[in-house]
Chain A
């Protein structure tokens, strides 16, 4: 199902099927068994709960997923994330904390510090050529 660009929803959004949002939602979104996709035009100001969340647009609010949160290139999240798996693409924006703890108490993010960092992110790069280190005794002086 799709929520189009011109649609604005204020309130609570519940469902039991996968959903793509290209419009604006303010309030709360719950798709606990399904995949929620915030499209490139989507603007969300809400607490989000879903099985998986794919973000290509903007989210302001905490995002909780029982499976995975995936912030794609140009996607933006300003809030805390709780999910066992989190992917943040090169060029995505993220500001907040990430709870990937395996104890199931990570369903309600955002109970912790407010202070947040902000910047663009990076993707993966492969790597070779290690450089060895020499252990030195710890102690005063150089």
Chain B
């Protein structure tokens, strides 16, 4: 009986550790204010027939939001799924080449690109490949929004950014593999997006910089 109790106590301790390491259940997924997102919306909304690329997964409510708020053409190019596929196949080294040929959009055809935090997961060559493609696709006056971590992490989960309203994003659990998060210094980001200018940069409390880069009109 006593041994059962002790065993129960031990189990409980291990469960506590597991719980601490586990991802937050869906009910606890936080909503975080965004300073850059409303600015991106305003830029894209000012275009007569806006075209937007979302590099994240399809989220039904986001699609509805963009339809109602922007009435835009939306291309969902889920790069997190691409990353996931390469990670599972152990071919992440092929990602830079894949990103170079991933987008068939014509030059200067897009008003906004939602990168979310995808750049954090990319090694430098892949990040540079993606940035080159984004610069190529962006119209003059167009904007790119990215979230960049300030802390390197050996393994971090992907996040689904669900739009709650113009300035609030819910950080939802993503079932993907996730990966290592790399830190890009501001100067590296500026260099990587050569041809664009940083129009806004916000340092958030959760070790993240939100950045908005624009192509000059």
Interface residues of A (CB under 8 A from B): 71, 84-90, 92, 94, 96-103, 105-106, 112-142
Contact = CB atoms under 8 A, between A and B. Distances in A.
Given A84-B67, A99-B73, A133-B202, A127 B60 contact: no
Given A98-B63, A98-B73, A133-B35, 18 more contacts: A71-B60, A85-B64, A85-B67, A94-B58, A97-B74, A103-B48, A117-B76, A118-B81, A119-B58, A119-B78, A121-B59, A122-B60, A122-B160, A127-B31, A132-B205, A133-B202, A135-B201, A140-B186
By Cβ-Cβ distance, the 5 closest A-B pairs, closest first, are A117-B78, A127-B31, A88-B60, A113-B104, A138-B198
Main secondary structure of the interface of A (DSSP, over half): loop
Contacts of A132: 33, 205
A142 B201 CA distance: 12
Nearest to A85: B67
A121 B60 contact: yes
B24 interface: no
Nearest to B213: A138
A127 B168 contact: yes
Nearest to B82: A117
B108 to A, nearest CB: 14
Contacts of B210: 133
Contacts of A98: 63, 67, 73-76
B190 interface: yes
Interface residues of B, number: 61
Contacts of A116: 76-77
B61 A123 contact: yes
Interface of B: 26, 29-35, 48-50, 57-61, 63-64, 66-68, 70-79, 81-82, 102-105, 150, 160, 162, 164, 167-168, 170, 172, 185-187, 190, 198-206, 209-211
B200 A135 contact: yes
Contacts of A128: 31
Contacts of A90: 60
A101 B72 contact: yes
Contact of A138 (B63, B67, B104, B201): B201
Given A86-B67, A138-B199, A142-B186, A115 B60 contact: no
A61 B150 CA distance: 43
A66 B48 CA distance: 20
Main secondary structure of the interface of B (DSSP, over half): mixed
B29 A142 contact: no
Given A124-B61, A131-B205, A138 B71 contact: no
Contacts of A136: 201-203, 209
Contacts of A84: 67, 71
A120 B59 CA distance: 8
Contacts of A88: 58, 60, 63-64
A129 B28 CA distance: 11
Contacts of B162: 122, 124-125
Contacts of B72: 100-101
Contact of B71 (A101, A119, A141): A101
Given A122-B160, A142-B150, A131 B77 contact: no
A135 B35 contact: yes
B196 to A, nearest CB: 11
A89 B60 contact: yes
